[in-house]
Structures are given as structure tokens and as C-alpha cells.
Amino acid sequence: MWSSRATGRTFESFGTAQGATLSGRRRVNRAERAERGFSIIELMVVLTLLSFFFGAVYDTVIVGLRSVGSADTREDLRMQLTRALDRFTREVRMARNVTFAQDQQFQFDADFNADGNSTDPGEATINYQVSGTHLNRSQGGGSPVAVISNLSISSPLDFNYYEQGSTTESATCDSTSSCGSNCCRSEVRVVVITTTVTRGNETISMTSSAFLGNM
């Protein structure tokens, strides 16, 4: 009896000691793992997840920046065309005498004070002419200055003309006063300007009509 109880206590003591040993080993393993840090596989998983995350963020930011850049480009082109066409329209209203009317050039004597005479001081010949990808303006024989840049290569800019009382559009007008069936410069009353500008992937087109008020 005594021997059996002793043996039971011995087994119990052995089991307790074995459990304590296993628990201690687990604590040691955790401590060693904490000291050792992440494994290579764990690092690879983390780096892969981070690459996906930053890739998504990068794509979102780039798309947003491109959208903003495209909107700014369109607005710049639109403002450039609006200012140039407004100026052209104002000046054409002061035309007293058309001296050149072609598809990419329009020249006239300006009567700024509307007194019927375009030779007063300060009044001069104004010339609008396409040169390459620019619409240049010159006054009184001075140096040309670009008023529109980035003209489209395929369809840069066109002037078209309507004679008084006519609904027929002409691309050129003859220099003589007796033009027959052709467009006469002296009879031009409306100039239509159509222009297309391109910058990068953005393209803007505008059309404006100018009425000659002093003729």
C-alpha cells in the first residue's frame, strides 16, 4: 500500500516536472523568436503587401495629377484663344479698307476713331498672318508678335469671308474692285476665323465672326 502510494506520487511528480519543462521551453522559444525577429518569409509577405499598397496609392496620385494637368492645359488654351479672338474682333470692327484677304492672312487699315479716315496719327495697317504654328499680329509694318501659339499642324487656322448681302463663304478675295463671280475685298463685311490649338494630348477649337463696322 505504501509502495503504491509512493509510486503514484512519483508519477505525479514526474508529470508535473515534465509539464514545467515544456512550459519553460515554450517561454524560451518565444523569447528566442522575439530576439531573432521576423523570418525571411514573414518579411517577404510584409514587403509584398506594402508594394501593393504603395502601388495603388501611386496610381491614384498620378491619375489625379494628370487630370489636374489636363484641366489646366485646356484652360490655358481656351484663355489664349478667347483673348486673341476678342482682340481680333474688336480691331476688325475698325477696318476701313481691306488690303489682303486670304485663307491664312487678313490685313486692313484701321480707323480707330471711326472718322472715316484711316490715316490719322496713331492709325495704321494691321496684319494677321499664320506663320508655322503661330498667328502673328503686326501693326504699321512693325515686327510680328504671336497672339496665338500651338496651332494645330493639320488644321491650324482659316479666315473665311462673306460679302455684303451674300451668304456664300469665300476663302480668298481678289484685289480688284470688279471681281465678277469671285469675292471682292471691297465688299467684305464679315470675317470668320476658325482656329484649332494643340498642346500635348489636349486640343481646343474655336470659331468667331467679326463684322467690319467702318466700311
Amino acid letter at 125?
A: T
d(CA 130, CA 107): 12
- Reply yes or no on whether the pLDDT at 189 is more than 80: yes
**If pLDDT is split at 50, 70 and 90, which confidence band does 2 have?**
very low
Highest-confidence segment of 60-69, 116-125, 178-187, 192-201: 192-201
Q: Under a CB-based contact definition with an 8 Å cutoff, are residues 193 and 137 in contact?
A: no
- Check residues 44 and 126 and name the one with the higher pLDDT: 126
Which pLDDT score, from 0 to 100, does residue 25 have?
54
d(CA 113, CA 168): 31
**pLDDT tens-digit readout, 133-153:** 999 999 988 999 999 998 988
Beta strands 202-211 and 134-139, pairing class: unpaired
d(CA 111, CA 108): 10
d(CA 160, CA 190): 8
Which pLDDT score, from 0 to 100, does residue 30 have?
55
Q: Under a CB-based contact definition with an 8 Å cutoff, are residues 148 and 134 in contact?
A: yes
> What are the CB-based long-range contacts (under 8 Å, 24+) for 16-21?
none
- Reply yes or no on whether the pLDDT at 101 is more than 80: yes
Strand partners, 126: 108, 139
d(CA 133, CA 155): 10
**Coil, strand, or helix at residue 88?**
helix
- Check residues 45 and 103 and name the one with the higher pLDDT: 103
**If pLDDT is split at 50, 70 and 90, which confidence band does 116 have?**
low
Query: Which H or E run includes 46?
Result: helix 40-92
For residues 171-182, give the mean pLDDT. Answer: 69
